[in-house]
A = this chain, B = another copy of it.
Amino acid sequence: MDSLNANRHTLSHLLAAAVLERYPHAKPTIGPAIDTGFYYDFDFSGAQGENSAPGEAELPELETAMRELLPSWKTMVGVETSAKDARDRFKTNPFKLELIDEIDAKGEPITLYTAGEFTDLCRGGHSEEPAADIAPDSFCLDRVAGAYWRGDETKPMLTRIYGLAFNTKAELDAYKAQREEAKKRDHRLIGKELDLFTFSELVGSGLPLWTPKGALMRHLLDAFVWELRQKHGYERVTIPHITKKALYETSGHWQKFADELFRIETREGKEYALKPMNCPHHTQIFARHPHSYRDMPQRYAETTMVYRDEQSGELGGLTRVLSITQDDSHVFCRHNQVKEEFFKIWDIVDTFYGAFGFTLRVRLSFHNPEKPEKYLGTPEIWANAENALRAIAKERGADHFEAPGEAAMYGPKLDFMATDSLGREHQVATIQLDMNLPERFDLTCVNEKGEKERVVMIHCAIMGSIERFSAVMLEHTGGSLPLWLAPVQVRVVPISKNHHAYGEEVLNALAANGVRAKLDASNDSLGKRIREAKKEKLPYLLILGDQEVAAKTVTAESRDHGKLEGLSLEEFIARIERETKERT
């Protein structure tokens, strides 16, 4: 356990001590360290009324109390004790008694940790010298929330107090600032501000509706991926969104995807399902006729929606939805073609994410050998596939790490993790190696000897899903979409009525050259029209007045490069075309 984690864990005890000073009826339950600090869950039901439990207004007092206690926490020491002694000590706290019973039943040691005058039942993992290790300004209390005891909604509701904790005040402040920024950059807000997508109560949550601007953005993203794929020999295919049950019985999805599958019964009583994945359908296109080794690999790409029956409590924005649009692909190839195909995809991933300035590292998502019921296929098939991925990542020389338990049901994955402009890491693209579906669907090619040879499938989505990538990218860019991706690239703003005719002329020239431009010839003041354009984070704003009309030039305000004066219209268009083409 690293020292920051130990400090965070210690601070949860300190919080409990401070709470008990002011709320002696409180029953502490559990209080772990978390990613950004710590929390502790309390039962305050022992007293009633206004001051029986702290709200967010009381957090500053509690925080002060923690800081006052801290100097007295010179050491934090653990001692083992008997179950009997522990039960005695916590006899008025049914939550701790439940924990003691569990530890006792497993035959594990029961330990008590004491610092200052506060003793708690705990497994350990604390700072041994809290007063020395923890800077008083490196932590703060954050918020209050409800939480069921043990996360079980049939059990009592407790009060959870969250704290933030880092090594230093500077780190704490940086985290808070980043979180503030992230709040402003919430993709749900940006989506509304830029008018990219909307939700309807009649259609339902988790089902985004993409407006003209949003649909254009999706289309441009997808066209970029397709441009890269086409260079590597991919071809598009098209499938329906439903299938007879038989397909998923063969693929294994009918059982393994049990809950998440949207099932449909036809009027004739036949069972169908909405597709949660595209691979089984794509196998049926591959299997339509025999393939010679000369025609391998076959590379199918399709951007299409898939559906998962998520619980409605889990839905929100673009990240938890009932339908996602996968920019999916399936390569059917021979074993000796796997590495080359992986590298081709890897090149596409590097180019695509590079265009947005994301840095990437790679997670090798392997299966969990302790939960074989979650996966299809034999241990041998898994070992082969995972070894192949290890060798590929090593040869590519990429920054990578292994994560058991993160595999897909049919094979291990190579997941790309992108770090955004706020330093947050997101799982994005994924490449999956699959030796199981080819078995289940008996997919082969005819090799040089005229024999049937089992093929391998490589699943890949470059964006993962357009919805998820859009959410990450909108927060990464704060809505300042790169020029090539901006639904409106240029806003033309004539200063007054006298300049409208020239504004139209400029607009038409831009449109004729494929530049996505709009004219703002409204009666609003110049200032208001400029503010409006900036609110929409448009890449370029053209202000046209007497000077521009006379000289047939434009004055451009670039969102990213400042003011550009005295450009001829041709120069401006050439600049836009170059920047769009280079995706800068």
Contact = CB atoms under 8 A, between A and B. Distances in A.
A237 B211 contact: yes
B239 A281 contact: no
Contacts of A238: 209-210, 214-215, 218, 325
Given A209-B284, A237-B215, A238-B218, A204 B243 contact: yes
A272 interface: yes
B268 A264 contact: no
Given A203-B281, A274-B274, A288-B198, A241 B241 contact: yes
Contacts of A288: 195, 198, 200, 209, 211
Interface string A231-247: 00001111111111011
B244 A202 contact: yes
Contact of A305 (B240, B262, B267, B289): B240
B203 A247 contact: yes
Name the residue among A204, A244, A247, A307 with the largest chain B CB count within 10 angstroms.
Answer: A204
A132 interface: no
Interface string A254-269: 0000010011111110
A558 interface: no
B272 A241 contact: no
A17 to B, nearest CB: 42
A285 interface: yes
A322 to B, nearest CB: 7
A281 B242 contact: no
A300 interface: yes
Contacts of A284: 198, 200, 202-203, 209
Contact of A241 (B244, B280, B323): B323
Q: Provide the main secondary structure of the chain A interface.
A: mixed
Nearest to A260: B267
A311 interface: yes
A276 interface: no
Contacts of A216: 235-236
Contacts of A270: 312
Contacts of A243: 202-204, 207
Interface in A179-206: 195, 198, 200-204
A150 to B, nearest CB: 23
A561 B350 CA distance: 46
Contacts of A202: 243-244, 246-247, 250, 280, 284
A31 interface: no
A212 interface: yes
A137 B284 CA distance: 50
Given A236-B219, A274-B274, A311-B267, A322 B242 contact: yes
Contacts of A128: none
A541 B297 CA distance: 25
A79 interface: no
Nearest to A273: B264
Contact of A272 (B204, B209, B281): B204
Name the residue among A216, A240, A242 with the largest chain B CB count within 10 angstroms.
Answer: A240
B287 A200 contact: yes
A268 B311 contact: yes
A28 interface: no
Nearest to A522: B294
Contact of A207 (B198, B237, B240): B240
Contact of A212 (B201, B215, B235, B312): B235
A129 interface: no
Interface of A: 195, 198, 200-204, 207-212, 214-216, 218-219, 235-244, 246-247, 250, 259, 262-268, 270, 272, 274, 280-281, 284-285, 287-289, 300, 302, 305, 307, 309, 311-312, 322-323, 325
| The 6 nearest A-B residue pairs measured at CB | A212-B235, A200-B284, A210-B238, A204-B244, A198-B288, A202-B247
8 contacts: A198-B285, A201-B246, A207-B243, A209-B281, A209-B288, A240-B322, A242-B307, A264-B274
